[in-house]
Structure 1
Amino acid sequence: MNSPDQRNVMLVLGDAHADDPDNRRGLFAAYRAADADVALQLGDLLYYDLPIPTYFIAGNNEDFDVIDALRNGRVDSERVTNATLLAGSTADVEGVTVGGLSGNYAPTQYERPRPNLLGERRRHFVSDDVEQAKQLGDVDVLLLHEAPHGLPVTEDYEVGCNHIDELVDELDPDLCLVGHHHEHAEGTRGDTRLVSLAPAWESYYTLDPDTLELTRHETPSA
């Protein structure tokens, strides 16, 4: 791993699980080490009072009351600072169009209307979410918590969701970043570079907004 280049780079973070104090210290160590002005995060954040503007997707482990409030633009809480949710939406981040789909896949929930998802079932994306995301247009970087096929991560099941394949094929981003698996792995789908990110307490990444070059760094001890 290289030392970070302090040019105009974005911080990129995998799963944080920052409700755990040790993981939270690792998360903030990554923020300090990168010394960036803006960050992207791949879900399972679980702590939303952040030091710099952070564009994130919801994972399958979140405070879903906070996520619902962010989805509906009605958060007014001291517990939420600098956290912008991407849920079938895009943001212009340092001149890069970043899109995101929040949640993970559950076949039993996929065809249900989102308002019918209650409790922990709010962790999933549904068909309407994917169809909304397909309309995002030109996206440079796509953030996902559920992987498309093509990432060689180590799991005891086949990794890859057909609905996510369709989304990636439709949007054709230059770079697709995936959380959830707590493992660094790289692959391709068509012309899209796929990268599964290591968790934030192990590694952080920097992204050059001009070239979309992604560089991995070791998260320093908190």
Structure 2
Amino acid sequence: MAPESLLVAGVGDIHGRFHRVEAWLDALEAARGRPVDMVLAVGDVEAFRHADDHRRKAAKRAMPAEFAEYADGVRAMRRPLYFIGGNNEDFEALHDAPDGFQLAPNVHYLGRAGLKELHGLRVGYLSGIHAPRFYEQPLKRPRSLDTAKQAGYFRVSEVEKVSALRDVDLMLLHEWPRGLPQRAQERDVPPPGRPLPSSWIGNPITRDLVERVHPKWVLCGHSHRAFAVTLGWQGGRTVTRVACLDQAARPEESVFWMEFQGREVVSAGWGLSGQVSWRAGSPWGLGSLPSLPEPEPLGTGI
């Protein structure tokens, strides 16, 4: 008997837009005709527990302080959400739980670095971005805006912890691995209207991490654009498929779903339509990205 399938939704940088993301997931469930079993967010979630903290510290302070409703029990997340830290978070609330904790019902911080088994999947993760000046410095308690900013940078001990992992089904990173555009250009022709990002995007530390661990899939965010590329290892005998997600401004490129049979992805797609853009055995690359929306017609000027 085939194993029961699992529907996992990856979400790009939420930046506090929890109501919007929940509505998107409702639409995805309707399109796929089944529930989303879990949601994985790639950082910059901005789960500020208090409205005043959101208004003072969030990257998008003009937005309503939506997470406070979940922390206060006014609303409840309808499906389990697991997130890593980006470089914009409520670091004061996260600092004392480097191995993760539950912030509210169905809302889980995975931690700064490590491995969790979620619904039978081995999920490795590294929170934060690379800042060379702080890479080997100890992590300070975020008591000020400056030390809170430093909390958004990963440290060498955290990278070493993740680099020792093996047999990883999914790896969650906030910042892209360096070199993805070059690798994509070696294999694919960019679709019309989709220029390649700068060759300097991402950082070499997460690239080295992926090269050591060889996860089956990587999800990342931070740079607010969708991207897809395959990295090959051991002469192509094993591969890592990378999906970079846009911020949660519109769903077409910020929601990426995967259907698993056991621990293997059998199909995947972008956005809320439920349409499959990749199946097991097919190539994964720039051609797997969603179609860009048609430009709006120009007004007549009358």
Fold match (TM-score > 0.5): yes
Q: Which amino acid aligns with 1:14?
A: G
Which of the numbers 245, 270, 279 marks the counterpart of 1:197?
245
Which residue matches 2:271? 217
Is the partner of 1:11 in helix, strand or coil? strand
Instruction: Please give the residue correspondences for 1:14-53 in structure 2 after superposition, counting only pairs within 5 Å.
Output: 14-18=12-16, 23-35=17-29, 36-47=36-47, 49=70, 50-53=77-80
CA contact (8 A) 2:99 2:113 kept: no
**Which stretch of structure 1 is more off in the superposition, 180-189 or 210-219?**
210-219
Change (3 A) 1:174 1:158: same
Give the deviation of 1:168 after TM superposition: 0.4
Change (3 A) 1:149 1:38: same
CA contact (8 A) 2:112 2:125 kept: yes
Q: Which amino acid aligns with 2:22?
A: F
Give the deviation of 1:116 after TM superposition: 6.9
Give the deviation of 1:81 after TM superposition: 4.6
Instruction: Please give the residue correspondences for 1:94-133 in structure 2 after superposition, counting only pairs within 5 Å.
Output: 94-115=119-140, 118-133=147-162
1:32-91 deviation line (CA, Å, top 9, x unaligned): 22341211111111136433222211001111112213325576x6x5752132422222
Change (3 A) 1:66 1:209: farther
Is the partner of 1:51 in helix, strand or coil? coil
Q: State yes or no: 1:59 paired with 2:51.
A: no
| Percent identity of paired positions between Structure 1 and Structure 2 | 29
Which of the numbers 150, 155, 167 marks the counterpart of 1:138?
167
Which residue matches 2:287? none
CA contact (8 A) 1:151 1:195 kept: no
Give me the CA root mean square deviation.
2.5
Is the partner of 2:271 in helix, strand or coil? strand
* TM-score normalised per structure 1: 0.82
Whole-Å Cα distance in 1 between the matches of residues 115 and 226 of structure 2?
A: 24
Q: Which amino acid aligns with 1:39?
A: V
CA contact (8 A) 1:150 1:188 kept: no
Alignment coverage as a number of residue pairs: 207
Whole-Å Cα distance in 2 between the matches of residues 73 and 161 of structure 1?
A: 24
Which residue matches 2:110? 85
Change (3 A) 1:74 1:55: closer
**Which stretch of structure 1 is more off in the superposition, 95-104 or 187-196?**
187-196
Whole-Å Cα distance in 1 between the matches of residues 113 and 91 of structure 2?
A: 17
Give the deviation of 1:163 after TM superposition: 1.2
CA contact (8 A) 1:113 1:128 kept: no
Whole-Å Cα distance in 2 between the matches of residues 216 and 86 of structure 1?
A: 26
Give the deviation of 1:176 after TM superposition: 0.8
**Greater relative contact order, per chain length (Cα 8 Å cut-off, separation 6+):** 1
Is the partner of 1:100 in helix, strand or coil? strand
Instruction: Please give the residue correspondences for 1:71-82 in structure 2 after superposition, counting only pairs within 5 Å.
Output: 71=98, 81-82=106-107
Whole-Å Cα distance in 1 between the matches of residues 196 and 20 of structure 2?
A: 23
Change (3 A) 1:176 1:143: same
* Bigger Rg over Cα: 2
1:102-130 deviation line (CA, Å, top 9, x unaligned): 00111111111224772221011011110
Give the deviation of 1:189 after TM superposition: 2.5
Q: Unaligned stretches of 5+ in structure 1?
A: 1-6
1:165-196 deviation line (CA, Å, top 9, x unaligned): 21101110111111111111111222211111
Q: Which amino acid aligns with 1:180?
A: H
Which residue matches 1:168? 210
Change (3 A) 1:183 1:102: same
* TM-score normalised per structure 2: 0.62
Change (3 A) 1:68 1:130: same
Give the deviation of 1:14 after TM superposition: 0.8
